[in-house]
Structure formats: C-alpha cells, structure tokens
Amino acid sequence: MHFQPRLGVVTRSLALAAPDLIHFAIVAGAVFIGYAMMGFLIFGNSIQQFNSFGESINTCFEMLLGVLDVNTSLRALGGVQVGGGTGWTMWFSRVWLCCWITTCRAVLLVS
C-alpha cells in the first residue's frame, strides 16, 4: 500500500508480525484439533454433535464463535461425563481467549 501512508503502516506491521502470526496459527490449529479430538473421544457416543470427528470440529468452531447450543446436551449427561462436559467447555473458552489476547499483544508489541 505505497499510495496511502497510513494504510502502509498496517501492511508493514502485518509483514513484520507474519512469522509470529504463522507460528500462532500452527499452535492454535494443533490445540483446536486436540480439543476436537477430545470432544469426539469423550462425548462421541453420547452427544450427536460429537458423533464424528468432522462434526466435532464443526461443534468446536461454533463454540469458538459463541454458539453454545451443545451446553444443554453436556448438562444432560450422567456419570463421569458430567464433570468432563462442564469443565471441558469452560477450559475450551478460556484457552482460546488467552491465545487471542496473547496474539493481540504480540502484534501490538511488534508494531
């Protein structure tokens, strides 16, 4: 963006932060796939939203966006899965929030 100096600041900042953003994407992707696999393995036989790995990825992505329709199914579980369901949802949202805050701080520090 050579023609507009103010927009050039944004593109230069993103260019400087690109290696860090790529590393973050790799780590965040691995964590996301790990959470989707945990959801599939723990809740796959009990909850319809986790019955396949693809559905588990879709459900985790919806949870990341704030659609928590699966919470009613998690609360309806019995036995050992009750604690895992509520704890899993809480930790999922907290880990993603911490990753997002860390990325924003890294981008601000680079620029």
Neighbours of 36 (CB within 10 A): 21
Provide the terminal-to-terminal Cα distance of the chain, rounded to the nearest Å.
16
* Complete domains list, the chain, with CATH: 16-110 (1.10.287)
Mean residue pLDDT of the chain comes to: 80
Query: Which pLDDT band, with edges at 50, 70 and 90, does 41 fall under?
Result: confident
Q: What is the DSSP letter of 44?
A: T
Q: Identify the pLDDT of residue 86.
A: 60
Distance CA 60, CA 64 (A): 6
pLDDT tens for each residue of 94-104: 777 777 788 87
Q: Identify the pLDDT of residue 83.
A: 58
Distance CA 65, CA 73 (A): 18
Q: Identify the pLDDT of residue 90.
A: 67
Q: Identify the pLDDT of residue 85.
A: 59
